[in-house]
Structure 1
Amino acid sequence: MNTAGIDWEAYLSRTRWFGGKGRPFRVGDVRQLAELSDGVDDLRATVYLVTVEYSDDEGGSERYQVPLSSYDEPQDRIAYAFVGSVETDSGLRHVYDGVHDRAAMRIWLEGFVDAEQTGTAERGGLRFHRVAGTTLDPELVPSPLTGEQSNSSLRFDDTAIMKVFRKVSPGVNPDIEIHEVLTRGGSADIAALFGWVEIDLDGGEGVLQLAMIQQFLRTATDGFELATGSVRTLLADLELSVEESGGDFAGEAARLGEALAAVHLMLRESFPVESRGADSTSELAGQMIARLEQAARIVPEIEPYGDRLRAAYNAVCELGRLDVQRVHGDLHLGQTLRTTEGWKLVDFEGEPGRPFAERVLPDSPWRDVAGMLRSFDYAARVVELSAVGADEPEAALRAQRAREWSARARRHFLEGYVASLGEDAGSESERGVLLDAYVADKAVYEAVYEKRNRPTWIGIPLAALERIGTR
């Protein structure tokens, strides 16, 4: 379909998932990847690969997957998702955002159903894969979810959820790769993978993975929301200690640590594991120091902690060894769900800004642990900072209780994790060095982010940096 009638720049700018907002850009190449039809009415479900080129100092380009649907007649039911009208050989076509079109997304569901018996099915140029032993009802009703940013998701009743990747690049998506391995391994700590969609790009670029469908966790509660709710309960009665309060999160934190350990152990069994030498620890320390120096130019408030942070990074060099494996790569409470069956880890894509080739590299599992420790700290401090109208003594007690909640949650999470790993956790001194370094590295990143986006929150990472080297 000719898309000359679509104002791509305007369309991208108003979507939630476009990552280039605020940057000058133009749409370059628009490539049609696939076209699917339901065989009943005039619906065409088309998938495009759109290249965005930036003209600021940072420059560069990105590619986005854009599923569209088009009809001969306007569709009032999805008028809110209207993209534009285009002239075709058969007349005017009315174009809509395909993710918001139930009829279009039902065709994707049919592709997954077709693949159930053989494991793979072709439809409209797309290749649908299924994990054996899973079943999908073709009558499931798709509904787009709101609130997401970097990707788009649809819920199929209470059975499945499909994540449509927006910013894409050739190669194996780690979210699919890890979920497949953990699902086939019988992990109880994730939402099981049902299948995924991919296509081979022309020109020898390789495979492009477009979407994944997995178990919908009907009873799930977002981990960060659960943690902040716990802090609010604690701070509602400041006379009670954390242990006495109904807001104690220690048990949940310990169980979350156990879940992460189980996932890390299964990843160790399923992917290559390396024990790297002194060159690796020196390189890691050098990278952390470079990030610190760059951050200090943006956040001068970091500099008073500079000597202690450099000492924490240099201590990594002295270890002389670094054990690495596949990890989550971007772990925090927002990447966890609490269900009636326990904690589940989600979104194994890794850091969104990094290319796949970097995201799939082995890393220290302590990076995941550090990310979660920082997230507990954020949960406590965000609730504390949201309080208004407290006098000075009450504000001081509120801050103390928040620190106690964070320290207790972090301690129990770490204890649960280490106990579950057993001998694989290494020595206490070694993990102490690595955790200090990774926590500091994460807090330095947070300080830059808060300085640029939420300057009133910069005290959260700065307080963490102040604690480094004081154990």
Structure 2
Amino acid sequence: MCKVVAPRPSGHSPAHLLTSLADLLQAWLPEQRWFAGKGRRVTDLSLLSVTELHPACLHLLISTGDGSSPSRPGDCYQLLLGVGEVLPPRLAHARIGRASQGPLAGLTVYDALQEPRSADLLLERLRTPGTAGPLRFERDAKVTVPAGLTPRLLDVEQSNTSHVYGNAYILKIFRRVRPGINPDLEVPWALARQGCTRVPAPVAWFRTSEPLPATLGVLQPFLPDAVDGWTLALESLTAGRDFREEAYELGRATAEVHLALAAAFALGAPTADGNRRLAAAMIERLDTTSRSVPELLPHVDGLRGAFDELAALDSGRPVQRIHGDLHLGQVLWAGERWSVIDFEGEPARPIAERRQPQSPVRDVAGMLRSFDYAARSRHPWRPEWARRCRDAYCAGYAVQARWDPRAQGALLRAHETDRAVYEALYEARHRPDWLPVPMAAIARLAEHAPSSSGGPHTPVPSFHSFHSAQGG
């Protein structure tokens, strides 16, 4: 254990404390998986709030910028920092650095979210609601969380940090913080009130009231025996096993969640003007992305065609709250049943935008892209596997929702195209070796294709008719 001799932050202004931390954080932050400013130096750093959770652990909200524009708002990040004289070898990977000046001079600073003691503290705070400075810890009064659950850090690549407690609960801590209630709290809570069992209901959460109200973390039940859809799909591909039945059931699960969302939140009527605005936003994202990903440039004109088709639509499906970032990594298979998780949406987009009603076709398009991603991640590429999964998924969705997303051809193609453009930007920034995966879809989508793969009068099949048609 670290010997803690750090001064209490209450005796120092945030600016004073920042003299100890600024150099360390400017070097450390760009190396973190969850840091959004990849490729940019952190030149502007300000401390928005400091709360002492215990003498060895400081909760910080910091704002970062790159100095490129005085008017550009900085990103806000949540940190738990441990401070001590000596860092034990088991926490060497969490080391941020040794402060050379300010109130922490001579002390080692580390990421306390890598430390079981700090994870224990967070769970205890959530078990017994209350406040700590601007922090508010709250829970569902109908649920009692037991004490003494052993924490473990979820060792997966993600944009947040999660701890699993006793294989019973999972606490997601949002690293990048946006003002407002996070959809990953708001939506599962609303679905629980609707009786939807496809989504684990929030048990407890914590938030801040300063500098602006924001959600900081959510505790939910953990499904210890579950396998995420991405892993399951890759296992199917590796074993040469059919995945159509799972895809069909996943389509039904998606539609079930969409129906519950439509009941929990207000619907919006589709309009021609709304389609034009949506298409314009997609074109703007395409133009912006093509300036950062030159591989897109030969396909820009073809991709615009999908958005032009969308702009010409007079109507479409009603808009509603949706998942917003649906793919195989956001669904869990346990007990022959799918659950849907991670309703945060695309973290790069403002929360207000993520909370806006959208077409459920966007979620469908995200999952269709995910089947293609899985198929292309294994060699040789098996396009027939992806095609069958896509058809099975849409068939399952149609049975539950009573409408077939394939009949919304122009809308589906536009959302698939927009998703592929997003993927190209993501891969170019974070995983350049994966860029050929979305680029293959972009080349296909850029070609002129019929506006509907299923036709405007596609019948809604039963599972048995679907299964027979696929030779099952």
TM-score range normalised by the length of the shorter chain = 0.7 to 0.9
Provide the residue aligned with 1:283 in structure 2: 277
Matches within 5 A, 1:39-438: 43-56=55-68, 60-71=73-84, 74-85=87-98, 94-115=108-129, 121-123=130-132, 125-202=134-211, 205=212, 207-234=213-240, 247-293=241-287, 298-299=293-294, 303=298, 306=301, 310=305, 313-315=308-310, 317-340=312-335, 342-384=337-379, 387=380, 399=381, 402-422=382-402, 425=403, 429=407, 431-438=408-415
CA drift of 1:22 comes to 1.9
Provide the residue aligned with 1:21 in structure 2: 38
CA distance in 1, matches of 2:67, 2:189: 38
CA drift of 1:350 comes to 0.9
CA drift of 1:262 comes to 1.0
Identity %: 35
Cα distance change on mapping 1:124 and 1:93 into 2, 3 Å: farther
Give 1:468's match in structure 2, choosing from 436, 441, 449: 449
CA drift of 1:54 comes to 1.0
- SS of 1:134's equivalent in the other structure is coil
CA distance in 1, matches of 2:250, 2:125: 35
Give 2:52's match in structure 1, choosing from 32, 35, 47: 35
CA drift of 1:211 comes to 0.8
Cα distance change on mapping 1:21 and 1:307 into 2, 3 Å: closer
Paired residue type of 2:120: R
Paired residue type of 1:15: Q
- SS of 2:176's equivalent in the other structure is coil
Of stretches 76-85 and 266-275 in structure 1, the one that deviates more from structure 2 is: 76-85
Paired residue type of 1:351: E
Cα distance change on mapping 1:32 and 1:445 into 2, 3 Å: closer
Cα distance change on mapping 1:66 and 1:428 into 2, 3 Å: closer
Q: Contact 2:302 / 2:448 at 8 angstroms: preserved in 1?
A: no
Paired residue type of 1:45: C
CA distance in 2, matches of 1:443, 1:73: 47
Give CA deviations for 1:272-306 in whole Å, capped at 9, x if unaligned: 11113221122223333444455566556665684
Provide the residue aligned with 2:19 in structure 1: 4
Cα distance change on mapping 1:444 and 1:15 into 2, 3 Å: closer
Provide the residue aligned with 1:241 in structure 2: none
CA distance in 2, matches of 1:122, 1:427: 46
Cα distance change on mapping 1:64 and 1:449 into 2, 3 Å: closer
CA distance in 1, matches of 2:425, 2:102: 49
Cα distance change on mapping 1:13 and 1:310 into 2, 3 Å: closer
Provide the residue aligned with 2:14 in structure 1: none
Give CA deviations for 1:246-285 in whole Å, capped at 9, x if unaligned: x111100011111111111111111111113221122223
CA distance in 1, matches of 2:33, 2:428: 23
Q: Contact 1:296 / 1:302 at 8 angstroms: preserved in 2?
A: yes
Of stretches 88-97 and 1-10 in structure 1, the one that deviates more from structure 2 is: 88-97
Paired residue type of 1:67: L
CA drift of 1:137 comes to 1.3
Task: Report how many residues are paired.
Answer: 428
CA drift of 1:214 comes to 0.8
CA drift of 1:79 comes to 3.8
Aligned residues: CA RMSD? 2.9
Unaligned runs of 5+ in 1: 38-42, 116-120, 235-246, 388-398
Of stretches 455-464 and 356-365 in structure 1, the one that deviates more from structure 2 is: 455-464
Provide the residue aligned with 1:392 in structure 2: none
- SS of 1:418's equivalent in the other structure is helix
Give 1:446's match in structure 2, choosing from 394, 417, 423: 423
CA distance in 1, matches of 2:110, 2:280: 49
Of stretches 453-462 and 132-141 in structure 1, the one that deviates more from structure 2 is: 453-462
Paired residue type of 1:4: T
Cα distance change on mapping 1:468 and 1:381 into 2, 3 Å: farther
CA distance in 2, matches of 1:148, 1:155: 15
Q: Contact 1:336 / 1:344 at 8 angstroms: preserved in 2?
A: yes
Provide the residue aligned with 2:467 in structure 1: none
Give the TM-score taking structure 1 as reference length.
0.82
CA drift of 1:318 comes to 2.8
CA distance in 2, matches of 1:71, 1:295: 44
- SS of 1:193's equivalent in the other structure is coil
Cα distance change on mapping 1:296 and 1:45 into 2, 3 Å: closer
- SS of 2:200's equivalent in the other structure is coil
Q: Contact 1:302 / 1:462 at 8 angstroms: preserved in 2?
A: no
- SS of 2:417's equivalent in the other structure is helix
Give 1:459's match in structure 2, choosing from 433, 440, 449: 440
CA distance in 2, matches of 1:254, 1:20: 38
Unaligned runs of 5+ in 2: 1-8, 10-16, 454-472
Give the TM-score taking structure 2 as reference length.
0.82
